Amino acid sequence: MPGGRAAEERLDTMMATKIRSAFLAGIRGLALMIVSLTGSVILFTFTIVSIVLILIGVGLFTTPAVLTALRGYASQRRLLAAKWSDVRIPVPYRPMPTDLRGGFVGQVERCALMLKDPATWRDFLWLLVDMTVGSVSALLPAVLFLYPVESLVLAGGLWRVFADGGDAYWYGPVRVDSQGTSLFAVAFGLVIFHAGIRYNPALLRAHFKLTKSLLGPTPEMTLAQRVDHLTETRHDAVDTSAAELRRIERDLHDGAQARLVAMGMNLGTIEALVEKDPAQAKKLLAMARESSAEALSELRDLVRGIHPPVLAERGLGDAVRALALRLPIETEVTVDLPRRADAPVESAAYFAVSEVLTNAVKHSGADRIYADIHHADGMLRISVTDNGRGGAAAAPGSGLSGIERRLGTFDGILAVSSPAGGPTMVTMEIPCELF
């Protein structure tokens, strides 16, 4: 029957996928074991020697280099954990100051900062565990695939070599001294092989879980990083608010305020001319009316820059659509927001999108822009893509880095993909709930 055949094909595909995953886990485990017994041992030795050499001054120059290599080695293992077993291991290192002095004094400061970092000593402990327990746990998936091969070799006639020598050969719990017992060994090998198919991916994941317990941050380190992050974002928020206040004051002083002052002077002149020169008074009244209209328009623009009315009344999606209609480049906006986020989150997201769109119009050379706004897994996700020349980057001091700081106030993140030649995609995520 066609339905039964399709079911069998699906079952065969699933089994083939399972065997392939188990085989890959075995190969990867074997590779990890080799790396653990070489790279971890070498780095462990170099680290000990370099730290001891600090006593005679040589270690002040070698230790930062060795610890940097250790961090690179650990980061590579974090990458493999995420890629091979989907185990995410956060990086716990303290950021190095950017204003370290040069020369011998700067080298001493660098060495001291790296040695004072608790993550350094956890890396060192991980090396010790990785080259012992870690190498064994990495080897297990390979053993479950390689050990059954030995049973096949025994059944092929190798058992006779041991029997002729008068020695008893044990394959697991099976004493192999005849062709019959060698077949029992094959049966036991098939059991091990089946266990490998079933458990190899889990065993490899267990190895990376062990790695995470040492390379990942402790709760205290996570709390310290959180405090540092909140302190930094608080400073950024204060700086942003101060800059926004200065902008408002400048716009009021240079725009609406100047027009209102001019209108007041015109009204004073009109008052003096209304009886002597009515025609001139009418001209000045027209100018005053024009100044009042321009001042009102500038005040509306200023209010829109602080918090657009459409954002307050209709939400983020319609506010971005209204913003897109004012752009000189064709912009397509897709919104999937069943409810609204908190007003501060909407405001931050709106101005972030506004600045990204402005940057695209000014610098990308694109003729089409796509914006997608949706909410999933507790995250407000926004992506802005243009078909321009590419080359955008969130470099320090750039507009994108300012957006990143703005989002950081809400624990948001920004990612930029902009290869040379385009396209450019700017992705923003803000953790929030919709209400």
- Judge contact between 416 and 335, C-beta under 8 A: no
The residues, any chain, with a CB within 8 Å of residue 77's CB and separated by 6 or more, are 89, 130, 211, 215
Q: If residue 121 lies in a helix (H) or strand (E), which one and from where to where?
A: helix 118-129
pLDDT value of residue 247: 59
Note the pLDDT tens digit of each residue in 151-161.
888 877 776 77
Q: Tens digits of per-residue pLDDT, 332-364? A: 999 999 888 888 888 888 888 888 888 888 888
Which residues, other chains included, contact 1 with Cβ-Cβ below 8 Å and sequence gap of 6+? Answer: none
pLDDT band per the 50, 70, 90 thresholds, residue 235: low
Greater confidence, 244 or 108? 108
pLDDT, residue 274, reads 67
Pairing of strands 368-376, 330-336: parallel
pLDDT, tens digit, 9 for 90 and up, residues 285-300: 777 777 776 666 666 6
Which percentage of the chain shows pLDDT scores above 90? Answer: 24
Question: What confidence tens digit (pLDDT) does each residue in 360-402 have?
Answer: 888 888 889 999 999 988 899 999 999 888 888 776 666 777 7
Q: What average pLDDT does the segment 106-118 reach?
A: 87
Looking at every residue in the chain, the average pLDDT score rounds to: 81
Q: What is the pLDDT of residue 1?
A: 46
Reported pTM? 0.60
